């Protein structure tokens, strides 16, 4: 998918020196915020519809879910106006500069329209996708602007001195080529660029204006960093989006949003039952958790843990005798083998647009308390699964 994003972006000249626009990135543009705003657009805006910030802000989808995900005041609260204005506007402007949205100015207000629905939908699916987009986008903008080489220099020698030199050079560059005339504002935006670059290349990033004492990880990029979603995150884990032990009420609200989002995605990308057996005839209407969400809430929102079934498969095979609290272990294996095939075919056709092999392995290891290696082929993974279930 990265190659598809790069191919699209390469149609445009995103040179800051020509546009004079420093808002190609901004302070609120973190992967989780951008992902959420993109999701709001996909779920509330029609193709070719012209929309403004208030169309997102006033939607029930935004009002309900921004509270659940970010634990913010209700969006309908007049006192929250200043907070939510930038929260929505900055990602929209960034997506506009990236040519994912079309932007026109009418008076003092920006009007938007979806320009590339495919990439916007990819961004909206999950935060890891948003991160992939951001890295491609930053590389394109900074390369067009003649600045990418300075980030590469930092990569070769990530020290306090090289960090300060890069930060100072970027500050002078932005002040010299855009309407921003103060270093303080540039210093708020600079970490959003450097830290994505740092995660990609396993480097120290920017923390509180200084070079971080540790290598930046994926979770460090989030707006919700080190809060109820992040308290017990192992800093060494950068390729797994494991849920953390958190406040129960807030966690349940967060999980509910992402579970429903994942279910909607499965219904969108799968058109027939993924298990081809004697019960697969008929319309596939049921999205089934291979590992129950009540037992494994940390993987409940992974699409790699969801499978589309017919009603008969779901109600009589996956849940014997329609007892939804029970799982047939034999059919659980059948579902995992079928899901492995689905994911392998999707990766061959679409790349990581929908599924990730790493996430599937994580789902298996979590659900079965095993340690299957990510380096195994799908054939080897299925062989391991059969052995695990036969030994039980």
Q: What is the pLDDT of residues 30-56, one digit of tens each?
A: 999 999 999 999 999 999 999 999 999
Question: Does 145 score more than 70 pLDDT?
Answer: yes
pLDDT band at 165 (very low <50, low <70, confident <90, very high): very high
Confirm if 285 and 259 have CB atoms less than 8 A apart. Answer: no
Report DSSP state, residue 246. Answer: -
Q: State CA 358 to chain mean position distance.
A: 15
The tokens for 385 are 């699964």
Report pLDDT for 248.
Answer: 61
Q: What percent of the chain has pLDDT over 70?
A: 90
Report pLDDT for 374.
Answer: 95
- pLDDT one-digit tens code per residue, 339-359: 999 999 999 999 999 999 999
pTM score:
0.84
Report pLDDT for 45.
Answer: 95
pLDDT band at 215 (very low <50, low <70, confident <90, very high): very high
Determine the Cα–Cα distance for residues 63 and 17; give it in Å rounded to an integer: 38
Question: Does 79 score more than 90 pLDDT?
Answer: no
Report pLDDT for 249.
Answer: 62
Question: What are the φ/ψ torsions at residue 106 (nearest 5 degrees)?
Answer: -125, 105
Which of the pair, 321 or 114, is modelled with greater confidence?
Answer: 114
Which of the pair, 126 or 233, is modelled with greater confidence?
Answer: 126
Report pLDDT for 302.
Answer: 95
- The neighbouring-strand residues paired with 105 are 110
For the chain, the average pLDDT equals: 89
Domain ranges of the chain: 2-213, 248-391
Q: Once rounded to an integer, what is the mean pLDDT over residues 7-21?
A: 97
- pLDDT one-digit tens code per residue, 294-316: 899 889 999 999 999 999 999 99
CA distances, 38 to each of 70, 71, 109, 120, 121 (Å):
15, 18, 19, 6, 7
């Amino acid at each position: 998918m990265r190659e598809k994003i790069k191919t699209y972006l390469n149609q445009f000249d995103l040179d800051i020196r020509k546009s004079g626009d420093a808002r190609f990135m901004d302070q609120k543009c973190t992967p989780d915020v951008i992902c959420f705003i993109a999701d709001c657009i996909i779920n509330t805006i029609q193709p070719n519809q012209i929309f403004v910030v208030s169309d997102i802000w006033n939607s029930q989808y935004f009002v309900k879910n921004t509270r659940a995900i970010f634990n913010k005041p209700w969006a309908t609260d007049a006192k929250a106006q200043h907070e939510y204005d930038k929260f929505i506007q900055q990602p929209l402007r960034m997506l506009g500069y990236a040519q994912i949205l079309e932007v026109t100015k009418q008076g003092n207000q920006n009007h938007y329209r979806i320009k590339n629905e495919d990439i916007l939908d990819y961004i909206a699916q999950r935060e890891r996708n948003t991160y992939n987009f951001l890295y491609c986008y930053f590389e394109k903008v900074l390369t067009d602007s003649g600045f990418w080489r300075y980030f590469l220099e930092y990569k070769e020698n990530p020290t306090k001195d090289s960090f300060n030199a890069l930060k100072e050079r970027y500050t002078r560059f932005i002040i010299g080529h855009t309407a921003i005339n103060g270093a303080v504002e540039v210093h708020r935006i600079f970490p959003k660029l450097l830290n994505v670059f740092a995660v990609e290349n396993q480097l120290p990033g920017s923390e509180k204006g200084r070079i971080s004492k540790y290598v930046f990880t994926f979770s460090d990029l989030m707006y919700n960093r080190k809060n109820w979603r992040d308290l017990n995150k192992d800093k060494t884990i950068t390729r797994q989006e494991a849920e953390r032990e958190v406040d129960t009420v807030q966690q349940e609200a967060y999980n509910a949003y992402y579970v429903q989002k994942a279910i909607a995605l499965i219904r969108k990308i799968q058109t027939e039952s993924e298990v081809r057996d004697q019960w697969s005839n008929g319309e596939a209407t049921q999205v089934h958790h291979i590992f129950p969400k009540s037992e494994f809430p940390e993987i409940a929102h992974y699409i790699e843990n969801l499978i589309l079934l017919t009603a008969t498969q779901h109600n009589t095979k996956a849940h014997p005798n329609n007892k939804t609290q029970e799982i047939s272990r034999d059919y659980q294996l059948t579902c995992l083998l079928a899901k492995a095939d689905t994911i392998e075919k999707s990766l061959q056709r679409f790349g990581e647009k929908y599924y990730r092999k790493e996430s599937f392995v994580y789902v298996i290891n979590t659900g079965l308390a095993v340690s299957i290696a990510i380096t195994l082929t799908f054939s080897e993974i299925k062989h391991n699964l059969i052995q695990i279930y036969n030994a039980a």
